[in-house]
Amino acid sequence: MTDPLFDLTGRRVLLTGAGGALGSVMARAFAERGAHVAVHDLSAERAAPVVEAIQAAGGQAVAVVGDVSTAEGSSDVVRQGADVLGGLDVLLNGVGINRRKPMEDVTPEDFDAIVSVNLRAIYFASQAAHAIMRPQGRGCIVNLSSLSARFSFNTISVYAATKAGVTSLTRSCAREWAVDGIRVNAIEPFVIKTEFTKPLWGEDHRQRWFDHITPVGRLGAPEDLIGSVVYLASDASSWVTGQTIVLDGGLTAGADWDAFRDL
Ligand X SMILES: NC(=O)c1ccc[n+]([C@@H]2O[C@H](COP(=O)([O-])OP(=O)(O)OC[C@H]3O[C@@H](n4cnc5c(N)ncnc54)[C@H](O)[C@@H]3O)[C@@H](O)[C@H]2O)c1
Give me the residues that bind ligand X (CB under 6 A), please.
Answer: 17, 19-23, 41-42, 46, 67-69, 94-97, 117, 144, 146, 189, 191-192, 194-197
Distances (CA, A) of 220 to 19, 201, 259: 19, 11, 21
| 180 vs 196 by CB, closer to ligand X | 196
Active-site pick, 159, 201, 210, 231 = 159
First and final CA of the chain: distance in angstroms?
54
Nearest in space to 241 (alpha carbons), one of 180, 189, 170: 170
Q: How far is the CB of 10 from ligand X (least distance, A)?
A: 26
| 97 vs 115 by CB, closer to ligand X | 97
| 2 vs 203 by CB, closer to ligand X | 203
Q: Is 45 exposed, middle or buried (0-12, 13-18, 19+ CB in 10 A)?
A: exposed
Question: Is 159 a catalytic site residue?
Answer: yes
CA 250 to chain centre: 20
Q: How far is the CB of 142 from ligand X (least distance, A)?
A: 11
Amino acid at position 26, single letter: M
Contact 16, 95 (CB under 8 A): yes
Q: How far is the CB of 219 from ligand X (least distance, A)?
A: 8
| 134 vs 150 by CB, closer to ligand X | 150
Q: How far is the CB of 3 from ligand X (least distance, A)?
A: 27
Q: Greatest CA separation found in the chain?
A: 62
Catalytic positions are 159
